[in-house]
């Protein structure tokens, strides 16, 4: 199975790692995890967030994790395009996004994973 998730992954912390490990577990034995890392442009122009760490470094950190098989840039909200291009079986995000991506159920399974309590780089 192929699983995809997205995030900024700025100021990488244990909650990020646990989310990615849970996402990889969804892929099962021999499955793969694709992670879309938000570009600096997308973060600023679309999300109105400034990253502390530049995209290239955030992408390299995520790519270095053994649970991650492929990192792609997230430069817009068109996850459906990536799902189709990479033949994704499961789209997953943290539970703080519950319901916001249900429209993707027409092309793959959508799973919202629990967040790690008390951990967030948005505090």
Residue 7 forms beta bridges with which residues?
37
Q: Which of 24, 49, 100, 105 is catalytic?
A: 49
Q: How far apart are the first and last CA of the chain?
A: 34
Burial class (CB in 10 A: 0-12, 13-18, 19+), 114: exposed
Given the structure tokens 């900024």, which residue do they identify? 8
Q: Helix H segments across 11-93?
A: 14-27, 40-45, 55-63, 79-85
User: Residue 18: helix, strand or coil by DSSP?
Assistant: helix
47 noted as active-site residue: yes
Active-site positions read: 47, 49
């Amino acid at each position: 199975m192929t699983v995809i998730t997205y995030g900024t992954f700025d100021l990488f912390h244990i909650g990020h790692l646990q989310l990615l490990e849970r996402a990889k577990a969804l892929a099962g034995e021999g499955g793969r995890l694709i992670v879309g890392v938000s570009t600096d442009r997308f973060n600023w122009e679309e999300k109105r967030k400034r990253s502390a760490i530049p995209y290239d470094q955030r992408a390299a950190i995520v790519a270095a994790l053994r649970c991650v098989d492929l990192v792609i840039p997230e430069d817009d909200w068109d996850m459906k395009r990536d799902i189709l291009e990479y033949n994704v079986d499961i789209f997953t995000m943290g539970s703080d996004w519950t319901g916001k991506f249900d429209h993707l159920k027409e092309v793959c399974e959508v799973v919202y994973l629990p967040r790690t309590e008390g951990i967030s780089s948005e505090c």
